[in-house]
Amino acid sequence: MSSTTLGAERVTKRFGAREALREVSFQATSGERLAIIGPNGAGKTTLLSILSGVQEPSAGRVTHPPEIIGWVPQQAAVYGKLSVAENLRLFARLERCSDVEGTVDRMLSLTGLHERADDEVGKLSGGNKQRVNIAVGLLGDPDVLLLDEPSTALDPRQRELLWEFISSLAEGGTTVFFSTHNVGEAERYADRVLVLADGELLYDGPPRELIGAERDFEAAFVRFLHERGH
C-alpha cells in the first residue's frame, strides 16, 4: 500500500493584500505523479515553492515533509560560470552526498550530459540547462521531486525523454509534482491533477474524471474553469 509522502493542510499565502493561495489542502502518496495546472497567476509556482521549503506559508502547513525533497525551479538554478560537473559537484557537496564523485557520475549518465560535463552551463542550450537543473534536483535521491514547468524550454524529443525519465522515477517510488501549462502533458503523464485558479484549489482527482463527457482534455479543462467563473 502506498504511503502518504507530502501534503498541504489549509495552506494560504499572502503577498501584502493579495492572496496567492487560499486554504489549499491535499495529500500525495509515494510513486504518485501529480500535475498542478491552472491559468497564469493561479498560484502553481507559489504552491510548489512552499512545498519545497523555499517559501513559508502565511497560514496552514505542509504535512509529512520527507527528509529530502528535490526541487527543480522553472528557471535553471545553476551557476552559468561553472561547468556541468562543477555545478553537480558543488550541489552534491552541499547536499552532503556520501560519494560526491559517484553521484556526479550517475547524474551525468542519467541526464546524458557526460560529453558536456566540462562545458560551462552558461554556454549550453536551454534544453541542456534544464537537464542540469533536473540533475541537481535529483542529487540527494529525493523521496519527492517538485518540478516547476519542466518541459518549457525543451524541444519535442527532449520533452519525450524528460517524461520517460520522470515516469521511471515514479515507478521507483519517487513522488513527482509538476506544474505545467500544457494540459495535454498533465493528462498523459499525471496520475492526479490539481487545478488551481486565483489561489483556490478547484479540482483534485484523476484527469479522466475532469474530462467527463468531453473528448478533449484541454476543452474539458477550459469548460471546467468557465463553469467556476474563471
Partner 1 sequence: MRWLFLKDLQILRRSPLLLVVLVVYSLALGVAVGLSRGSGPTKPRVAVVNQIPQAERKFDLGGETIDINTYARQLFDAIDPVPAKSPADALAKVRDGDAIGALVVPADFVSKLRGFANFTSNERPSVTFYYEGDNPLKSRYVRSAVTSRVADLNRALSEKLAAQASKYLDYVLHGGDVPLLGQVLGLEKAEQILRQVQDRLPGKDAQRGPLGQVADFAHVAAVNLALAKPLLGTIGRPVQADERILNASAGSDDAYTFAIALSIPLMFVCVLLGAGLLALEREENAFGRLVRGLVSRTGIIAEKTAIAATLGTVAAGLTLAVLVATGSDVAAKDLLAGLVVVVVGGLAFGALGVALGAAAREVRAASLLAVLVLLPIAVIGLIPVGLASPHLYDAIRIVSGFFPFRAVLNGIDEALRGQGMAERLLHLAGLLAGYGVLARLALRRFG
Which residue in the block uniquely carries the three cell numbers 520517460? 164
Per-residue x/- track, 139-178, partner 1 (CB under 8 A): ----------------------------------------
β-sheet with 18-29: strand ranges across: 18-29, 4-15, 59-63
Please give the Cα distance from 57 to 60 (Å, whole number). Answer: 7
- Of 71 and 217, nearer to partner 1 (C-beta) is 71
Which residues are within 8 A (CB) of 158 and not within 5 positions of it... i.e. 6 or more apart?
A: 127, 130, 131
- Written as one letter, the residue type at 228 is R
99 interacts with partner 1 by CB under 8 A: no
Distance CA 53, CA 67 (A): 11
27 close to 4: Cβ distance less than 8 angstroms: yes
Q: Which of 33, 59, 70 is nearest to 194 (CA)?
A: 33
Pick out residues in 12-51 that bind partner 1 (CB under 8 A). Answer: 49
Q: How far is the CB of 140 from partner 1 (least distance, A)?
A: 9
Stretch that binds partner 1, among 1-9, 80-88, 105-113, 171-179 (CB under 8 A): 80-88
Give me 59's grid cell. 497560514
Mask 117-136, x = binds partner 1 (CB under 8 A)?
---x---------------x
Nearer CB in complex with partner 1: 147/193? 147
Binding mask 58-77 for partner 1 (x = CB under 8 A): -----------x-x-x-xxx
In the complex, which residues of this chain contact partner 1 (CB under 8 A)? 49, 52-55, 69, 71, 73, 75-82, 86, 90-91, 93-95, 120, 136
